[in-house]
Structure 1
Amino acid sequence: MPDNPPQPDAATLTEDVEDLKAHVRAITTQLGALAAGGPPPTSDRNDPNNTEGGEEDEGFPPFILLLDPPEYETELRALTEWVEGVLVPGYLAEASADARWCHLWPHHPVAVARLHALWLAWQELTAPETCGYTGPSTWHRDHYDPCIRELRASTGPFQGCTRGEHQVEHRLPTLVPRAWTHESAPKV
C-alpha cells in the first residue's frame, strides 16, 4: 500500500464539489417540503444531477418582510393561523405590564418579523421526520424564549399598547424599508 495515494486534479475536485452541492440542494429541498407537510418535490430542478438553476435554495421560504403583495398577504395569513391557533392559546398567558401582547400584532412589523422567524423555526424543529428528539427543546430554548422575551418586553414592539389602546407609530423610525410597510395587513 503506497504511503502517498495519488492526488486528484483540481478539475476533478471542482466537479466533485459541484456534484455534492447539487445533492445537498436536492436533499435540502426535499426536507423543506417534508417539514412543510407536503410531498417531496419531483421536478428536474431537484435532480441532484441537474446543476442548472445556480445556487438558489428553492426549498426554503423567503423571509416575510422581503415579500411583496400578494405573497406577503398569503404568508401573513398562514402566520396568523399559527399565531392565533397555536402560539396564543398554547403559550401566551394573559398580557400584563410585564408581559405585553398586542392583539393587533400584524400591524407591528417588528412583531411580524420575529413571529415569522419563530414560526419558520417551529416548522423545522417540530417535524418528527426531520427534527429528532431534541428539536422541540431546541425550539423552546433557542427560538421561543428569546423571541417572546423581546416581543413582550417593556421596550419591545408592543410597548405603547395596552388593553384598549393600540399604538404602532411609536416604534417606526422615520425611514422604513418599503418591505416593512404593508398597508394591507389583516385587521385582527
Structure 2
Amino acid sequence: MTDPVYATVEEWVTDRFVPMYRRTLGGEFRWCAQWWKHAEAISRLTALWHAWEALRLEAGTGMGVWYRDHLDHQLPILLGPRGPFYQCSEDEHLEPHLATVEPAPPGWWVVSDASPLATQ
C-alpha cells in the first residue's frame, strides 16, 4: 500500500485544493478562510481528499473518475451560494445558524399499528 501524499485534510486543502481549484470568489462562488469552522466543509473536503488519495493511484482514468464522480459534484455545493460558506466571505467568517431540533414525543419511534411509522 502506498502512503498518502498528504497527512491531513488541512494539508491537502492548503497545498492542493486551494491552489489548484481556483475560482473568482463572490457571487456564485464563496470561500471562508476559516473553512475548518464549518462541519459540512470538513466532511466534504475530507471525502474529496480521501477519494483523491485513492484515485490518484489508478492508472489511466483514475483522476478523470475523481473529477467526474467527486470534484465536479462537490465543488458547486461546497463553494455555491447556498453551500456551507454562504454567509462568509474570504475575509470574514460568520458562524452558520444551527437549526432548532425538538425531541420526538415519547413512543414516536415505537412501531405499532397506530404509530406514524407503521404507514411508511
> How would you bin the TM-score normalised by the shorter chain?
0.7 to 0.9
Query: In 2, Cα distance between the equivalents of 1:173 and 1:132?
Result: 44
Q: Distance in 1 between matches of 2:74 and 2:90?
A: 22
Q: Tell me if 1:106 matches 2:18.
A: no
Give aligned pairs, total: 101
Q: Confirm or deny that 1:121 pairs with 2:48.
A: no
Quote the Cα distance in structure 2 between the aligned partners of 1:124 and 1:166: 32
**1:162 counterpart = 2:89:** yes
User: Per-residue deviation at 1:174?
Assistant: 3.6
- The residue number in structure 2 matching 1:89 is 19
Which amino acid is the alignment partner of residue 74 of structure 2?
C
AA matched with 2:35: W
User: Which of the two has greater helix per residue?
Assistant: 1
Residues 54-65 of structure 1: matches in 2 within 5 Å? none
How far 1:35 moved relative to its partner? 5.6
Unaligned 5+ segments in structure 2 are: 102-120
Identity of counterpart residues, as a percentage? 37
SS in 2 for 1:169: coil
Offset from partner CA, 1:54-73 (integer Å, 9 cap, x none): xxxxxxxxxxxxxxxxxxxx
1:136 aligns with 2:63: yes
The aligned runs of 1:1-188 (5 Å cut-off) are 33-34=1-2, 36=4, 78-127=8-57, 131-170=58-97, 172-174=98-100
* CA distance in structure 1 between the partners assigned to 2:100 and 2:8 by the alignment: 29
Q: Is the 8 A contact 1:35 1:124 kept in 2?
A: no
> What is the CA-CA distance between 1:167 and the residue it aligns to?
1.3
| CA–CA separation in structure 2 for the residues paired with 1:123 and 1:152 | 21
Q: Could you say what secondary structure the match of 1:34 adopts?
A: coil
CA RMSD of aligned residues (A): 2.0
TM-score when normalising by structure 1: 0.49
2:95 and 2:87 mapped to 1: Cα distance? 8
TM-score (norm 2): 0.75
Mind listing any 5+ residue stretches in structure 1 that lack a counterpart? 1-32, 38-76, 176-188
**Secondary structure of the structure 2 residue equivalent to 1:114:** helix
